[in-house]
Amino acid sequence: MSIQIFNTMSRQKEPFVTLEPGKVRMYVCGPTVYNYIHIGNARPVVVFDTVRRYLEYSGYQVSYVSNYTDVDDRLIRASKERGLSVPEIADQFIRAYEEDTDALNVMEATIHPRATRTMPEIIRFISQLVAKGFAYAVDGDVYFRTRKFADYGKLSHQSIDDLKSGARIEIDERKEDPLDFALWKKAKPGEINWSSPWGEGRPGWHIECSAMVEKYLGDTIDIHAGGTDLVFPHHENEIAQSEALHGQTMARYWMHNGHIQINHEKMSKSIGNVILVHDLVKKYDPQVIRFFILSVHYRHPINFSDELLTDAVQAFNRIKTAAYNLTHRLKDETVQKPDHAIEKIYRDRFAEAMDDDFNTANAEAVLFDIVRDANIALQDPDAPAGQLLAYRRVLYELSDVLGLKLNDSKAGILDKEVEALIERRQEARKAKDFKLADALRDQLSEAGIILEDTPQGVRWKRADQ
Ligand SMILES: Nc1ncnc2c1ncn2[C@@H]1O[C@H](COP(=O)(O)OP(=O)(O)OP(=O)(O)O)[C@@H](O)[C@H]1O
Ligand SMILES: [Zn+2]
């Protein structure tokens, strides 16, 4: 079977066929860099990094572009509040983004363009839209003439008239039509700005992406991706701008990840219900966070809870422990030849899961199949080394495709994870949820952690120390 991708445009899975054989051009809408990223923002980063890794594993050469939106209203507001310039704020949070995504083992993008460094291309793009009659300038602003683009609404499956009646659109006297959206915004006094044929100003958010896609990947690309909140209006507007100008399909496959929610509400900076990656990595191994994000199919929502993360600690620990035990058992072996037939079984199952619209939940289940079978073999003192070596190799290989690092120099659970589990157990006891408290004690004991309740609090040690 070939790779199948669920395309938001057609609302169905389609066989993946690239524009150019063996090559993938992929663009993922990146963060607006005015704050730390939360676990919701981390989801598209991890998911599409995994898509990229799997495409490369399958033999494609991938050009992966992900932008930084480094100027917009929120950056301007943050700059005023903190008395720093917009580029200073952007630099700070680009660094923070790099740190967080490095921790999550996200591969470096082929190119990470910044909107503010793409200004000549953005201005030229807008000028060409004006020249073609798809945009008009009013008093220093420039708007896109939405109704002139006949396919508007095709990605979000809405007609222009539905949009008009349903939309929360501010009435703006200067626009010809309420559906028109800004390509260029006139600068307010003292605001950061760039010179343009329409005066000093800055670009709208949507046009940045159209210009960066065109500059770095071309008029038609293979995959365009982001969170599902970007379908409308962001991606709809990108399509309108790019297809109006180029007269050809902007992207062949549109992929959108579901949201991470808290209490069934989207995690979002504007609501304030966020859990920052920056904070979460202090409590959990970043590999566990990545494992957790991939444990659900990317299109499904995830209702975030500490409980899910502590389950992930436990589950990921089983994989690391098996990897450690295999390495330990094989360390005196001189046999170099793995049992290829065994490797193939799991590789095929893994490919079947990932070919089916990147079903990482099923792909992780294949890792657990390996762990289960390897643990059985490890119990057998006569298990052939070639078999154990195959388990070890395929476990590492497939974990690596998911971007999961199995550091087997030290088996098991990290100190900070033990502390997170203990903290949760204390909370459970305070809430008189003794069932959960006991379950957490069992979970820790399975991971080789012994708890001792003392008048000074909980002490813990490792069984093997
Ligand atoms: N709760 C979430 N779950 C999954 N993806 C999300 C979530 N919130 C934002 N995203 C995605 O994160 C990426 C970065 O977007 P951006 O920096 O513009 O965040 P944002 O939309 O401003 O976040 P917020 O909603 O918190 O303000 C986008 O692809 C967006 O779809
Ligand atoms: Zn975009």
Res. 167: pLDDT tops 60: no
pLDDT of 446 reads 76
Same structural domain, 62 and 200: yes
Per-residue pLDDT, averaged over 247-259, amounts to 98
Res. 109: pLDDT tops 70: yes
Is residue 409 a part of any domain in this protein? no
Q: What are the Cα distances from residue 394, in Å, to 54, 104, 339, 361, 365? A: 15, 22, 10, 17, 14
Looking at 257, 289, 317, which one is the last position of a domain? 257
Question: Cβ–Cβ contacts within 10 Å for residue 349, how many?
Answer: 17
pLDDT of 169 reads 59
pLDDT tens string 301-328: 999 998 999 999 989 999 999 998 999 8
Same structural domain, 82 and 137: yes
pLDDT of 339 reads 95
For residue 228, the 8-state DSSP code is: G
What is the number of the ligand 1 atom nearest to the C-alpha of 226? Answer: 29
Give the orientation angle of helix 385-401 with respect to helix 39-57, to 10 degrees: 120
What is the number of the ligand 1 atom nearest to the C-alpha of 229? Answer: 31
Q: What are the Cα distances from residue 348, in Å, to 338, 366, 451, 452? A: 17, 10, 42, 46
Residue 136: strand, helix, or coil: strand
pLDDT of 168 reads 58
Looking at 257, 288, 319, which one is the last position of a domain? 257
pLDDT tens string 53-78: 999 999 999 999 999 999 999 999 99
Is residue 18 a part of any domain in this protein? yes
Give the orientation angle of helix 73-82 with respect to helix 86-103, to 10 degrees: 110
pLDDT of 294 reads 98
Q: What distance in angstroms lies between residue 58's CA and the mean position of ligand 2's atoms?
A: 26
What is the number of the ligand 1 atom nearest to the C-alpha of 32? Answer: 17
Residue 214 assigned ligand-binding role: no
Buried b / exposed e over 411-429, threshold 16 CB at 10 Å, is bbbbeebbebbbebbeebb
Is residue 410 a part of any domain in this protein? no
Same structural domain, 44 and 71: yes
Res. 110: pLDDT tops 70: yes
What is the number of the ligand 1 atom nearest to the C-alpha of 270? Answer: 27
Nearest ligand atom owner, CA of 251 = 2
What is the number of the ligand 1 atom nearest to the C-alpha of 230? Answer: 31
pLDDT of 20 reads 98
Q: What distance in angstroms lies between residue 278's CA and the mean position of ligand 2's atoms?
A: 24
Q: What distance in angstroms lies between residue 40's CA and the mean position of ligand 1's atoms?
A: 6
Nearest ligand atom owner, CA of 301 = 1
pLDDT of 440 reads 86
Is residue 158 a part of any domain in this protein? yes
Residue 20 assigned ligand-binding role: no
Number of domains in the chain: 3
Residue 397 has which token pair? 């290989």
Which residue's CA is the closest to the ligand 1 atom numbered 26? 268
Looking at 371, 401, 431, which one is the last position of a domain? 401
Q: What distance in angstroms lies between residue 6's CA and the mean position of ligand 1's atoms?
A: 20
Same structural domain, 383 and 420: no
Residue among 74, 93, 229, 271 to mutate when testing ligand 1 (max atoms within 8 A of CB) = 229
Is residue 120 a part of any domain in this protein? yes
Same structural domain, 160 and 236: yes
Which residue's CA is the closest to the ligand 1 atom numbered 23? 268
Same structural domain, 224 and 167: yes
pLDDT tens string 196-222: 999 999 999 999 999 999 999 999 999
Residue 238 assigned ligand-binding role: yes
pLDDT of 193 reads 98
Contact between 198 and 142 under an 8 Å Cβ cutoff? The reply is yes
pLDDT tens string 393-424: 999 999 999 999 997 555 567 788 888 888 88
Buried b / exposed e over 355-379, threshold 16 CB at 10 Å, is bbbbbbeebbebbeebbebbeebbe
Percent of residues, the chain, with pLDDT higher than 90: 80
Look up residue 183 and give its amino acid.
Answer: L
Is residue 185 a part of any domain in this protein? yes
Which residue's CA is the closest to the ligand 1 atom numbered 25? 268
pLDDT tens string 148-162: 999 999 999 999 888
pLDDT classification of 438: cutoffs 50, 70, 90: confident
Residue 186 assigned ligand-binding role: no
Q: Which of 227, 214, 41, 206 is nearest to 120 (CA)?
A: 214
Q: What are the Cα distances from residue 451, in Å, to 133, 153, 337, 463? A: 72, 58, 43, 10
Q: Burial-class residue 348 by CB neighbours within 10 Å (0-12, 13-18, 19+).
A: exposed
Nearest ligand atom owner, CA of 47 = 1
Q: What distance in angstroms lies between residue 234's CA and the mean position of ligand 2's atoms?
A: 6
pLDDT of 426 reads 87
Q: What distance in angstroms lies between residue 5's CA and the mean position of ligand 2's atoms?
A: 20
- Structural domain containing residue 447: 415-462
Same structural domain, 234 and 129: yes
pLDDT of 413 reads 73
Is residue 407 a part of any domain in this protein? no
Is residue 265 a part of any domain in this protein? no
Residue 234 assigned ligand-binding role: yes
Same structural domain, 197 and 320: no
Ligand 1 neighbours by CB, cut-off 6 Å: 29, 31-32, 40-41, 43-44, 226-227, 229-230, 257, 259-260, 266-270
Same structural domain, 224 and 325: no
Question: Cβ–Cβ contacts within 10 Å for residue 463, how many?
Answer: 9
Residue 73 has which token pair? 């209203």
What is the number of the ligand 1 atom nearest to the C-alpha of 225? Answer: 29
Domain of residue 120, CATH code: 3.40.50.620
ipTM over 0.95: yes
Residue among 35, 36, 41, 280 to mutate when testing ligand 1 (max atoms within 8 A of CB) = 41
Which residue's CA is the closest to the ligand 1 atom numbered 17? 31
Polymer length in residues for the chain: 465
pLDDT of 228 reads 98
Per-residue pLDDT, averaged over 29-49, amounts to 97
Same structural domain, 214 and 316: no
Q: What distance in angstroms lies between residue 151's CA and the mean position of ligand 1's atoms?
A: 26
Same structural domain, 135 and 246: yes
What is the number of the ligand 1 atom nearest to the C-alpha of 302? Answer: 3
pLDDT of 441 reads 86
Distance CA 444, CA 422 (A): 8
Residue 101 has which token pair? 């995504």
Quick one: how many helices (H) and strands (E) in the chain? 15, 15
